[in-house]
Amino acid sequence: MVIDGNDDRGIDVGIMSRFPILQIRSHVDDPGPGGSELFSRDCPEYDILLASGERLVVLPNHLKSKRNGNDQASQDRRRAQAEGAHSIAVAALSRSSFVLVGGDLNDTPDSPTLAKLFTAGFQDIMSHPNYPTDRPGTYETGLPSHKLDYLIMSPQLRAKLNDTGIERRGSFHPNTWEPFDTVTKTAEEASDHHLVWADFNLGS
Protein backbone atom coordinates (compact mmCIF):
# COMPACT_ATOMS: atom_id res chain seq x y z
CA MET A 1 0.00 0.00 0.00
CA VAL A 2 1.38 3.36 -1.05
CA ILE A 3 -0.08 6.84 -0.67
CA ASP A 4 1.23 9.52 -3.03
CA GLY A 5 3.48 11.85 -1.05
CA ASN A 6 5.05 15.27 -1.44
CA ASP A 7 8.03 14.27 -3.59
CA ASP A 8 7.33 15.44 -7.13
CA ARG A 9 9.59 12.65 -8.49
CA GLY A 10 7.14 10.08 -7.17
CA ILE A 11 9.53 8.73 -4.52
CA ASP A 12 7.15 7.64 -1.79
CA VAL A 13 7.07 5.50 1.34
CA GLY A 14 4.72 2.55 1.75
CA ILE A 15 4.26 -0.90 3.23
CA MET A 16 4.02 -4.55 2.23
CA SER A 17 2.02 -6.73 4.60
CA ARG A 18 0.76 -10.30 4.69
CA PHE A 19 -1.68 -9.17 7.37
CA PRO A 20 -4.78 -7.02 6.79
CA ILE A 21 -4.38 -3.26 6.80
CA LEU A 22 -7.19 -2.01 9.01
CA GLN A 23 -6.73 1.72 8.64
CA ILE A 24 -4.52 4.29 6.90
CA ARG A 25 -3.84 7.87 7.94
CA SER A 26 -1.82 10.22 5.74
CA HIS A 27 0.06 13.25 7.05
CA VAL A 28 1.01 14.54 3.63
CA ASP A 29 -0.68 17.89 4.32
CA ASP A 30 0.60 18.44 7.86
CA PRO A 31 2.06 21.97 7.96
CA GLY A 32 5.71 22.52 8.79
CA PRO A 33 7.76 25.62 9.60
CA GLY A 34 6.80 28.49 7.36
CA GLY A 35 3.57 26.83 6.28
CA SER A 36 5.10 24.35 3.81
CA GLU A 37 4.40 20.62 4.05
CA LEU A 38 6.17 19.14 7.06
CA PHE A 39 7.21 15.81 5.54
CA SER A 40 9.42 15.39 2.48
CA ARG A 41 7.32 12.39 1.41
CA ASP A 42 4.74 11.57 4.07
CA CYS A 43 4.54 9.97 7.50
CA PRO A 44 1.58 7.63 6.91
CA GLU A 45 0.12 5.49 9.67
CA TYR A 46 -0.70 1.90 8.76
CA ASP A 47 -2.72 -0.05 11.31
CA ILE A 48 -2.03 -3.75 10.74
CA LEU A 49 -4.27 -6.48 12.19
CA LEU A 50 -2.10 -9.22 13.69
CA ALA A 51 -3.09 -12.88 14.01
CA SER A 52 -3.40 -12.36 17.77
CA GLY A 53 -6.16 -9.80 17.20
CA GLU A 54 -3.95 -6.92 18.29
CA ARG A 55 -2.81 -4.22 15.95
CA LEU A 56 0.63 -2.97 14.95
CA VAL A 57 0.95 0.67 13.87
CA VAL A 58 3.75 1.27 11.36
CA LEU A 59 4.96 4.76 10.41
CA PRO A 60 7.37 4.70 7.44
CA ASN A 61 9.26 7.90 6.77
CA HIS A 62 12.11 9.51 4.85
CA LEU A 63 13.43 12.66 6.48
CA LYS A 64 15.11 15.64 4.82
CA SER A 65 18.15 14.54 2.86
CA LYS A 66 21.70 15.89 3.14
CA ARG A 67 22.26 15.30 -0.57
CA ASN A 68 22.15 18.98 -1.50
CA GLY A 69 23.95 20.10 1.65
CA ASN A 70 23.22 20.13 5.34
CA ASP A 71 22.78 23.79 6.13
CA GLN A 72 20.86 25.06 9.13
CA ALA A 73 17.60 25.16 7.21
CA SER A 74 17.97 21.48 6.30
CA GLN A 75 18.78 20.56 9.89
CA ASP A 76 15.84 22.55 11.19
CA ARG A 77 13.47 20.84 8.78
CA ARG A 78 14.80 17.38 9.64
CA ARG A 79 14.39 18.16 13.33
CA ALA A 80 10.80 19.35 12.78
CA GLN A 81 10.05 16.18 10.81
CA ALA A 82 11.50 13.96 13.55
CA GLU A 83 9.51 15.78 16.20
CA GLY A 84 6.36 15.51 14.09
CA ALA A 85 6.85 11.78 13.52
CA HIS A 86 7.40 11.24 17.23
CA SER A 87 4.22 13.11 18.11
CA ILE A 88 2.27 10.95 15.66
CA ALA A 89 3.83 7.80 17.13
CA VAL A 90 2.99 8.80 20.70
CA ALA A 91 -0.60 9.59 19.70
CA ALA A 92 -0.84 6.17 18.02
CA LEU A 93 -0.22 4.53 21.40
CA SER A 94 -3.86 5.27 22.16
CA ARG A 95 -4.76 2.61 19.54
CA SER A 96 -2.00 0.10 20.18
CA SER A 97 1.03 -0.35 22.41
CA PHE A 98 2.90 -1.72 19.37
CA VAL A 99 4.14 1.27 17.34
CA LEU A 100 7.07 1.30 14.92
CA VAL A 101 8.70 4.28 13.19
CA GLY A 102 10.97 3.21 10.35
CA GLY A 103 12.89 4.52 7.40
CA ASP A 104 15.82 6.53 6.13
CA LEU A 105 16.10 9.36 8.64
CA ASN A 106 19.24 10.84 7.07
CA ASP A 107 21.17 11.42 10.29
CA THR A 108 23.13 9.52 12.90
CA PRO A 109 21.76 8.32 16.27
CA ASP A 110 23.67 10.98 18.21
CA SER A 111 22.34 13.81 16.07
CA PRO A 112 20.31 16.49 17.88
CA THR A 113 17.91 16.52 14.94
CA LEU A 114 16.72 12.98 15.74
CA ALA A 115 16.84 13.21 19.53
CA LYS A 116 13.08 13.51 20.02
CA LEU A 117 12.48 10.14 18.36
CA PHE A 118 14.29 8.40 21.20
CA THR A 119 12.17 9.79 24.03
CA ALA A 120 9.08 8.39 25.80
CA GLY A 121 10.78 4.99 25.90
CA PHE A 122 11.14 4.59 22.13
CA GLN A 123 14.31 2.74 21.07
CA ASP A 124 15.97 1.77 17.80
CA ILE A 125 16.65 -1.91 17.10
CA MET A 126 20.36 -1.22 17.57
CA SER A 127 19.57 -1.44 21.30
CA HIS A 128 19.33 -5.23 20.85
CA PRO A 129 22.59 -7.10 21.62
CA ASN A 130 22.51 -8.91 18.26
CA TYR A 131 22.65 -5.68 16.26
CA PRO A 132 26.02 -5.55 14.40
CA THR A 133 28.65 -3.51 16.23
CA ASP A 134 31.57 -3.92 13.80
CA ARG A 135 29.74 -2.03 11.05
CA PRO A 136 26.58 -0.52 12.51
CA GLY A 137 26.00 1.79 9.55
CA THR A 138 23.29 1.12 6.98
CA TYR A 139 24.65 3.01 3.98
CA GLU A 140 27.54 2.34 1.57
CA THR A 141 30.31 0.56 3.54
CA GLY A 142 28.47 0.42 6.88
CA LEU A 143 30.69 2.77 8.89
CA PRO A 144 29.21 4.24 12.11
CA SER A 145 28.79 7.61 10.41
CA HIS A 146 26.59 5.84 7.85
CA LYS A 147 23.90 4.75 10.32
CA LEU A 148 20.94 6.40 8.59
CA ASP A 149 18.17 3.78 8.61
CA TYR A 150 16.06 2.92 11.63
CA LEU A 151 13.33 0.79 13.13
CA ILE A 152 12.30 2.70 16.25
CA MET A 153 10.04 0.80 18.62
CA SER A 154 7.60 1.72 21.35
CA PRO A 155 8.52 0.26 24.76
CA GLN A 156 6.11 -2.68 24.59
CA LEU A 157 7.13 -3.49 21.04
CA ARG A 158 10.80 -3.42 22.11
CA ALA A 159 9.95 -6.04 24.73
CA LYS A 160 8.80 -8.34 21.90
CA LEU A 161 12.02 -8.04 19.86
CA ASN A 162 13.68 -11.44 19.40
CA ASP A 163 16.43 -10.73 16.91
CA THR A 164 17.72 -8.11 14.50
CA GLY A 165 20.37 -7.52 11.90
CA ILE A 166 21.39 -5.85 8.65
CA GLU A 167 21.19 -7.55 5.25
CA ARG A 168 24.00 -6.06 3.16
CA ARG A 169 24.30 -8.49 0.24
CA GLY A 170 22.13 -6.37 -2.02
CA SER A 171 24.84 -3.69 -1.90
CA PHE A 172 27.98 -4.08 -4.00
CA HIS A 173 31.11 -3.85 -1.83
CA PRO A 174 32.86 -7.17 -2.60
CA ASN A 175 36.02 -6.27 -0.69
CA THR A 176 33.98 -5.71 2.47
CA TRP A 177 31.30 -8.44 2.26
CA GLU A 178 30.15 -11.00 -0.29
CA PRO A 179 27.18 -9.72 -2.31
CA PHE A 180 24.39 -11.82 -3.77
CA ASP A 181 25.35 -13.70 -6.95
CA THR A 182 23.08 -11.41 -8.95
CA VAL A 183 24.85 -8.27 -7.67
CA THR A 184 28.08 -8.08 -9.68
CA LYS A 185 28.42 -4.30 -9.99
CA THR A 186 27.09 -1.10 -8.49
CA ALA A 187 24.45 -0.74 -11.21
CA GLU A 188 22.87 -4.00 -10.03
CA GLU A 189 22.53 -3.00 -6.37
CA ALA A 190 19.13 -3.26 -4.74
CA SER A 191 20.04 0.02 -3.04
CA ASP A 192 23.03 1.90 -1.69
CA HIS A 193 21.24 1.53 1.67
CA HIS A 194 21.17 -1.80 3.48
CA LEU A 195 18.13 -3.70 4.69
CA VAL A 196 17.52 -3.36 8.43
CA TRP A 197 15.37 -6.20 9.75
CA ALA A 198 13.74 -7.17 13.02
CA ASP A 199 12.04 -10.33 14.25
CA PHE A 200 9.26 -9.78 16.81
CA ASN A 201 7.24 -12.30 18.79
CA LEU A 202 3.77 -10.77 18.58
CA GLY A 203 1.78 -13.91 19.29
CA SER A 204 -0.44 -15.97 17.06
pLDDT digits (tens, 9 = 90+) for 132-167: 999 999 999 999 999 999 999 999 999 999 999 999
Instruction: Place domain 21-161 in its CATH homologous superfamily.
Output: Endonuclease/exonuclease/phosphatase (3.60.10.10)
pLDDT digits over 26-42, tens only? 999 999 988 889 999 99
The domain locations on the chain are 21-161
Q: Mean pLDDT in the chain?
A: 95
Q: What is the mean pLDDT of residues 96-111?
A: 97
Report the C-alpha gap between 117 and 152 in whole angstroms: 8
List CB contacts of 53: < 8 A, sequence separation 6 or more.
none
**Model pTM above 0.75:** yes
Strands 98-104 and 55-62, bridge-based pairing = parallel
Whether residue 69 has pLDDT greater than 80:
no
Question: How much helix, strand and coil, in percent to the nearest 5, is found in the chain?
Answer: 20, 25, 55
d(CA 118, CA 153): 9
